[in-house]
A and B are shown apart, each in its own frame.
Chain A
Amino acid sequence: MPGIIWLVVLFLVPFYTVLAIAGGTLNAIFSTPVPVWNPLRWTGTSYAAVYHLFFGSGSFVWPIFLRTVWYVAVASLISLVVAYPAAYFVARFAGRRKGLFLALLIAPFWISYMMRMLAWIDLLQTDGYINRALVDLHLISQPVDWLGGKSTTVILGLVYGYIPYLILVLYAGLDRIDQRLLEAGRDLGLNRVRTFWRVTLPLSRQAILTGMLITVLPMMGDYFTNQLLSGAQSTSMIGNVIDSQLNNSTQEAQGAALSLLLLAFLLAPMLYYVRKTRQASEEAF
Chain B
Amino acid sequence: MTLTSDAVDRPVADDGGEPVDETPPTPPPTAPRVSRRRPPWRNPWRRPWVLETFTWAYLIWSIVPIAIAVLFSFNNGKSQSVWQGFSTRWYWGDPVNSVAHNPALRSAVVQTVRLSVLVTIIAVPIGVAFAIGIQRWHTRTSTTFNFVMVFSYVIPELIFGVAMFFLFTQLFTAIHLGTGAEVLGLVTWNFSWPAIIVLARLASIGSSYEEAAADLGASRLQAIRRVLLPLLMPAIFASAVLVFASVVDDFVVVDLLSGSADTQPMSVIIYSTSHGGNGGPALNALATIMLVMSFAVATIGLVAYRWMTRGERGANSQEAMTSIAGM
Contacts and interface: CB of A to CB of B under 8 A. Distances in A.
Interface residues of B, number: 96
A191 B44 contact: yes
B4 interface: yes
A1 B62 contact: no
Given A89-B52, A112-B248, A122-B284, A99 B151 contact: no
B290 interface: yes
Given A217-B155, A221-B156, 16 more contacts: A1-B133, A3-B127, A10-B188, A17-B170, A89-B52, A103-B321, A108-B63, A110-B245, A113-B249, A114-B251, A114-B266, A114-B290, A160-B62, A168-B325, A191-B44, A221-B158
A163 B59 CA distance: 12
Interface stretch (A40-48, A53-61, A125-133): A125-133
A227 interface: yes
B54 A89 contact: yes
B154 interface: yes
A28 interface: no
B208 interface: no
B321 A106 contact: yes
A2 B158 contact: no
Interface in B129-171: 129-131, 133-134, 141, 145-152, 154-159, 162-167, 170-171
B63 to A, nearest CB: 6
A125 B80 contact: yes
A85 interface: yes
Interface of B: 4-5, 7-9, 44, 47-48, 51-52, 54-55, 58-59, 62-63, 65-66, 68-69, 72, 79-82, 126-127, 129-131, 133-134, 141, 145-152, 154-159, 162-167, 170-171, 184-185, 187-188, 191, 195, 199-200, 203-204, 245, 248-249, 251-252, 255-256, 266-267, 270-271, 274-277, 279, 283-284, 287-288, 290-291, 294-295, 298, 317-318, 321-322, 325, 327
Contacts of A90: 55
Contact of B274 (A11, A105, A118): A118
A224 B184 CA distance: 22
Contacts of A21: 166, 170
B171 A13 contact: yes
Interface of A: 1-4, 6-7, 10-15, 17-18, 20-21, 33, 35, 82-83, 85-86, 88-90, 93, 98-99, 101-123, 125, 127-129, 147, 160, 163-164, 168-169, 171-172, 186, 189-192, 194, 213-214, 217-218, 220-224, 227-228, 231, 239, 242-243, 246, 252, 255-256, 259, 262-263, 266, 270, 273-274, 277-278, 281, 284-285
A104 B317 contact: no
Q: Which 3 A-B pairs have the closest CB atoms?
A: A3-B130, A221-B156, A221-B158
A2 B130 CA distance: 7
**What's the dominant secondary structure at chain A's contact region?**
helix
Given A14-B164, A115-B290, A228 B129 contact: no
Contacts of A164: 62
Nearest to B57: A86
Nearest to A195: B44
24 contacts: A1-B129, A3-B127, A86-B55, A86-B59, A88-B51, A89-B51, A89-B54, A99-B318, A101-B55, A106-B321, A106-B322, A112-B266, A112-B287, A118-B69, A119-B65, A213-B154, A227-B275, A246-B256, A256-B162, A259-B159, A259-B163, A263-B156, A284-B200, A285-B203
Contacts of A169: 327
A237 B51 CA distance: 35
A116 B61 CA distance: 11
